[in-house]
Amino acid sequence: MVNEMAEPLIFHFDVDGDNFTSAGQASVQVKKNLRQLGIDPETIRRVSIAMYEGEINMVIHAKGGEADVIVSDESIEIILKDTGPGIANIEQAMQEGFSTAPDNIRSLGFGAGMGLPNMKRYTDYMQIDSVVGEGTTITMRVNF
C-alpha cells in the first residue's frame, strides 16, 4: 500500500491513565499520521476504531499504558501494553455486552461492552495476552 517503504515506520505513545478529557489522543494522532502517508480512508478508519477502543480500555480499565503502531508494507500493527489488573476471563470479556465499567464511566457513554468486539471486527488479526495482577498486551493487525 505505502509504496517502496524501506523500513517499517513505528509510532510510540504513552497513554495517560487519569485523563478522560484527552483520552483517545494517541488514536487521533495515528489517524493524522496515516493520512499523511496517503493510506486509504477505509484502512485508516478500521485502524482508528480498533486503536481507539483499545486506548480507551487502557485508560478506563488499566490506568493507562503504552501504544505502538508499526506501519509496514503488508500491514498496520497496533500493540497496546498496560500493567493494569489483567483480564481474568478473556472469552467472557470478548462477548458483546460484557462490561465491568463503573457508573461514572457509563455516564460518559462508555461501558456498552462493545469495545473488544469492535476491535476484533475491524482488524484482520487480534491477540490478547493477559495475566491477572500483571497486565494486558493486545496485538492487532490490519492488512493492506
Partner 1 sequence: MNELSAMQGFKPVAVPDGEREINGVYIGDLLSWVMGRAKADDAWITIMTNINVVAVASLADTACIVLAEGVNPDASVVETANAKGVNIISSEMPAYETAKAIGI
Under the rule (CB under 6 A), what is the footprint of ligand ATP?
Answer: 53, 57-58, 60-62, 82, 84-85, 87, 93, 98-101, 110-116, 136
Residue 65 vs 71, nearer CB to ligand ATP = 65
Q: Does 108 bind partner 1 (CB under 8 A)?
A: yes
Residue length of the chain: 144
DSSP structural state of residue 86? -
> How far, CA to CA in Å, does 54 sit from each of 7, 97, 103, 128?
26, 16, 20, 11
Residue 134 CB, shortest distance to partner 1, in Å, is: 26
> What stretch of H or E contains 131?
strand 125-131
DSSP structural state of residue 23? T
- Order of strands across the sheet that contains 9-16: 9-16, 64-71, 75-82, 135-143, 125-131
Question: Which of positions 5-34 make contact with partner 1 (CB under 8 A)?
Answer: 20-21, 23-25, 27-28, 31
Q: Does 81 bind partner 1 (CB under 8 A)?
A: no
Residue 71 vs 138, nearer CB to Mg ion = 138
Residue 7 CB, shortest distance to ligand ATP, in Å, is: 29
Q: State the residues that interact with Mg ion by CB under 5 A.
A: 57, 115
